[in-house]
Amino acid sequence: MTTQTAVATRTLEIDRSHSEVAFQVRHLLSKVRGRFTDFAGTIDFDNAHPQSSRIDVTIQAASIDTAESDRDKHLRSADFFEVETFPTLTFTSTSVTPRGDNRYDVAGDLTIHGVTRQVTLPASVLGSMQDPWGNEKFGFEAELTINRKDFGLSWNAALEAGALLVGDEVKVMLSVQAK
What is the per-residue DSSP string for 97-160? EEEETTEEEEEEEEEETTEEEEEEEEEEEEEEEE-TTS-EEEEEEEEEEEEGGGGT-----B-T
What is the C-alpha to C-alpha distance for residues 100 and 158, in angstroms, rounded to an integer? 44
On the question of pLDDT at 4 being above 50, the answer is no
Does a structural domain hold residue 4? Answer: no
Residue 48: is it exposed, middle or buried by C-beta count within 10 angstroms (0-12/13-18/19+)? exposed
**126-130, long-range: CB < 8 A, 24+ apart:** 126/102, 127/102
On the question of pLDDT at 33 being above 60, the answer is yes
Supply the range of the domain harboring residue 95: 10-178
Does a structural domain hold residue 1? Answer: no
On the question of pLDDT at 1 being above 80, the answer is no
Does a structural domain hold residue 29? Answer: yes
pLDDT of residue 156: 65
Does a structural domain hold residue 3? Answer: no
Identify the weakest region by mean pLDDT among 122-126, 129-133, 158-162. Answer: 158-162
pLDDT of residue 162: 62
Question: CATH number, domain at 17?
Answer: 2.40.128.110
pLDDT of residue 112: 97
The Cβ of residue 110 has, within 10 Å, a number of other Cβ atoms equal to: 21
Does a structural domain hold residue 2? Answer: no
Centroid of chain to Cα 176 = 9
Does a structural domain hold residue 43? Answer: yes
pTM: 0.89
Confidence band (pLDDT; 50, 70, 90) for 158? low
On the question of pLDDT at 43 being above 70, the answer is yes
Counting DSSP H helices and E strands in the chain, the numbers are: 1, 11
Determine phi and psi for 11, rounding to 5 degrees. Answer: -95, 115
User: For the chain, how many structural domains are there in total?
Assistant: 1
On the question of pLDDT at 145 being above 70, the answer is yes
Does a structural domain hold residue 165? Answer: yes
pLDDT of residue 155: 72
What is the C-alpha to C-alpha distance for residues 154 and 81, in angstroms, rounded to an integer? 10
What is the C-alpha to C-alpha distance for residues 145 and 92, in angstroms, rounded to an integer? 17
Region 95-108: what's the mean pLDDT? 95
Please list the residues that pair with 20 across neighbouring strands.
Answer: 175
